[in-house]
Structure 1
Amino acid sequence: MVQAVQRAVQILRELATAGPRLGVTELADRLGVAKPTAHALLRTLEAEGMVTQDPESSKYLLGPDLLLLGNAYLDTQELRTRSLTWADLLASRAGEAVWVAVLTGDHVLVVHHAFRPAGAVQILEVGASIPWNTCALGKAMVAWAPDEARERLLAGRLGVLTGASVTDPEALRAQLDAALTTGYTLEDQESALGDAGIAAPVFGRGGEVAGAIGVVGPVERLLAEPVRQELAVAVRETARNLSRDLGAPRGAARPPRRGHDPSAPPTVPTPTPAA
């Protein structure tokens, strides 16, 4: 790897997670480099529009050109493009907000947000990054993931956003296994107090998990019966239709056999020759 590029990326990540404003000395300490090195990196990033310097405090913050890169990334997301109509239809049917997301590392990235058809002012959540274990969208993607990816995420750092966030790997594993039977996952105030979610996985052309789609809203509206079951049916149907739109093969949503890569072609037994 090119060390200068790696350090520049680390600066952007520090500003994104520990910011919004950090000074040269703070960033040098976080990167473990000399102050002149950090300053040179910041000046280069500033010239490219990736960071900007606050004229009052002389500290640095993320620059406007990052937004252009982010929007360009969203435009390349086939899942997002294909989901626009399906998300709007689900939002109308459910009467709730709909999120579409992909898995990036151990976080969920929201790539599309269809607003609830009616109600109070809503905040656009496109670009939101959420620990996978704290939301229904993340659980839906991990439940159908290949064994290696699933176990790696269960053994990794599990985020905590509220007192209801589940951080016990065995409890999460039980939820993921249950989802393979029901076809959907739930979130009960695990990423934000008072909010809930119901999600289902979306599959791509090769039968792999391409992302997830789900409804998000107040817990008292989403998880009360019989509404929960009605919403779960709507979410599953929409996920299945979106998967077909992406070219997923029939049966892609079948529960994977643990210890078996769900994207691998089935093995055909060799007939035993007659004696």
Structure 2
Amino acid sequence: MRKADLQDTDNAEGDDAKAQQLVSPVIRGLRLLRYMAEGGSTANLSEVGRRIDVNRITVMRLLATLEHEGMLERLPQGGHQIGFEFLKLASTVLAANDLTSFARRILTRLSESLQLSAYLVVRDGGHALYLLREMPKTALVSNIQVGSRIAAHLTTPGRVLIADLPPDTLRDLLGNDPLPTATGQSPGTHARLAQILAADRERGCAWSFSAFEPGIDSCAAPVHDRSPIAIAAISVAGPHQRFELDPTLHERVEREVKVAAHDLSILLGNRQDGLQG
């Protein structure tokens, strides 16, 4: 048997072993809670069963169990809503965390998935302040350090942090023309910056191809709480040659960065549905 076949067999056996440790009723209960948290109704038990892939009787048992534990509450007019005990549990978790602790877990997952450096960035006046960084175990990574403070219009996270600000506010923050530049691709005027920010807003993220660090490409997406103005940005950066060698990486990076920013936004209280782009 070839080495590759042996590895496939080992992986399959490992997956089977993991599957045997899973508790099916717990999985079904979590699916039901997730369905409810996303706005699903329990008025039609057959429809609920179809959505979470169980039969009608199982749905009834799950509902009774979750009601008993206070995770769901029955409504007088029929159906259910998320229960007070569930809300208390969620509030306890949220109270014990903040922007950086939530973000660190998301950045770790993002960096491991893409094998690129991942950052959490906030706006400090007219600058982008790099708060967190998670790095893959590779030789080629971005050189931006935690604590770096860079003119916001020069980097992708900085751009998404200022994308929704009024022109007068931008001029107050960044100063008059000409704007400082890092490379020939940097926007040197407010007119050029406005064009770039409009494209970023339309796409739902910002891209840079060696525009700040030569040989380094970057993508960033905005993080929102309940405010329409981004409170933070999540970005990834890595060598341009990675993108040249893998034609699927560009699309995957954009998708995963948007998802990461959306997930962090949800944790911070944003309830807007869907992902842009």
TM-score, scaled relative to structure 1: 0.57
Q: Distance in 1 between matches of 2:141 and 2:171?
A: 39
Q: Are the structure 2 counterparts of residues 121 and 221 from structure 1 closer, same or farther at C-alpha, using a change threshold of 3 Å?
A: closer
CA deviations over 1:94-148 (Å, ceiling 9, x no partner): 1100011001111100000001243358867110111111110011111133565
Alignment of 1:206 with 2:227, yes or no, is yes
Instruction: Describe the shift of the 1:246–1:117 C-alpha distance in structure 2 as closer, same or farther (beyond 3 A).
Output: farther
Question: Aligned-pair RMSD on alpha carbons?
Answer: 2.8
2: CA distance, partners of 1:122 / 1:154? 25
Is residue 113 of structure 1 aligned with residue 143 of structure 2?
A: no
Segments of 5+ residues of structure 1 without an aligned counterpart are 1-76, 256-275
Q: Check if 1:161 corresponds to 2:182.
A: yes
Residue number among 131, 142, 145 corresponding to 1:125 in the alignment: 145
- 190 and 250 in structure 1: CA distance in 2 versus 1, 3 angstrom threshold: same
Question: In the TM superposition, what whole-angstrom CA distance separates every residue of 1:133-167 from its partner, at most 9, and x where no partner exists?
Answer: 11100111111335653454466463222333221
Report the structure number with the largest CA radius of gyration.
2
CA distance in 1, matches of 2:274, 2:167: 16
- Cα 1:124–1:214 change in 2 (3 A) is closer
Are the counterparts in 1 of residues 141 and 237 from structure 2 also a CA contact under 8 Å? no
- Aligned partner letter, 1:228: H
Consecutive unaligned residues in structure 2, runs of 5 or more: 1-96
Look up the match of 1:188: 209
Counterpart for residue 215 of structure 1: 236
- Distance change (3 Å), C-alpha of 1:198 and 1:254: closer
Q: Structure 2: how far apart are the matches of 1:251 and 1:150?
A: 28
Name the amino acid aligned to 1:227.
Answer: L
Letter matched to residue 241 of structure 1: D
Matched, 1:97 2:117: yes
What is the percentage of aligned positions where both structures have the same residue? 23
Partner Cα separation in structure 2 for residue 101 and residue 177 of structure 1: 20
Residues 172 and 231 of structure 1: is their aligned pair in 2 closer, same or farther, counting only changes over 3 Å? same
Task: After superposition, give the CA deviation of every residue in 1:44-79 in whole Å (9 maximum; x if it has no partner).
Answer: xxxxxxxxxxxxxxxxxxxxxxxxxxxxxxxxx932
Q: Secondary structure at the match of 1:127?
A: coil
Displacement, 1:168? Answer: 2.7
| Greater per-residue helix proportion | 2
